[in-house]
Amino acid sequence: MKASTFTFAGGLAIVPAIERDAVEKYQLLTKDEFMEYATLSQTMPGVIALNCATLVGRHAAGFLGMLAAGFGAILPAFSLMVVATVLANMVPQQGPILGAMRGIRAASAALVLSAAFSLGKYNLKSGFAIILMVAAFLLVVAGNIGAPLIVVLSGVTGCIYQRIKRYRDKRRSDAN
């Protein structure tokens, strides 16, 4: 089964790693086909690296290929993370180690914040986007509303807003 070779991709299953092995090494698909799947895997919901693996696996070797590629992407991450979690829980939390942990946690919070900043640079290009961002932030922090509900609401808001906008643009151009 050709696609079982996919078990490699796992761990570092970031999209370029899949590209290198699937396109160049095993020639399961062309570069253009791969780019198509890479874009698709970012548009559809779910884990991006896993989406990419299942799409490529399905393309290369059908349903079984999808399963092989998918498990290849999950298993290394899963097993390494179990080991890391067990080890992290064994570390005694006192003295200098507690100090180190507190430093790491502070840095970690800052890195999540900078992730929000860098993502914001690409996604906040209109007044509508900024309002949605602020609303989502306030609803979680002050309103204590769960994130999944906010995702659903913001998706619906996006749909309604774009429709109204297209309707208005159309009327405006009809009037001219």
Partner 1 sequence: MLIECFRLFYTFIKLGFLSFGGGYAMLSMIMSEAQSFSVSPAQFADLNALDMVVPGAIAINAATYVGYLHQGLPGAIAATAGVSLPSFILTVVIMRFFAHFKDNVWLTDTLSGIKPAAVGLIAAAAITIAANVLILPGKNIGDLRINPLGTLSLACIIIFILTAIFNLRFKVNPILLTVLAGVVGALVMA
By CB under 8 A, what part of segment 42-101 binds partner 1? 42-51, 53-55, 58-59, 63, 66-67, 70, 73-74, 76-78, 80-82, 84-86, 88, 95-101
The nearest distance, CB 6 to partner 1, in angstroms, is 14
Residue appearing with tokens 């290849």: 72
* CA angle (122 as vertex; 116, 125 as ends), nearest 5: 110
List phi, psi (to 5°) of 71. Answer: -65, -35
* Stretch of residues binding partner 1 (CB under 8 A), selected from 11-19, 26-34, 168-176: 11-19
The 10 Å CB-count burial string (b at 16+, else e) for 71-86 is bbbbebbeeeeeeeee
- Return the number of the residue (21 or 124) whose C-beta is nearest partner 1: 124
Among residues 76, 78, 33, the alpha carbon closest in space to that of 58 is found at 33
The nearest distance, CB 23 to partner 1, in angstroms, is 18
* Stretch of residues binding partner 1 (CB under 8 A), selected from 23-31, 125-133, 167-175: 125-133
Alpha-carbon distance 66 to 71, whole Å? 8
- Return the number of the residue (27 or 46) whose C-beta is nearest partner 1: 46
Applying CB under 8 A, among 158, 168, 169, 170 the residue interacting with partner 1 is 158
Applying CB under 8 A, among 32, 107, 172, 173 the residue interacting with partner 1 is 107
- Return the number of the residue (1 or 84) whose C-beta is nearest partner 1: 84
Radius of gyration of the chain (CA): 22
- Return the number of the residue (1 or 81) whose C-beta is nearest partner 1: 81
Q: Is 27 left (phi over 0), alpha (psi -120 to 50) or beta?
A: left
* Stretch of residues binding partner 1 (CB under 8 A), selected from 26-34, 146-154, 168-176: 146-154
- Return the number of the residue (1 or 12) whose C-beta is nearest partner 1: 12
Q: Count the neighbouring beta carbons within 10 Å of the beta carbon of residue 48.
A: 16
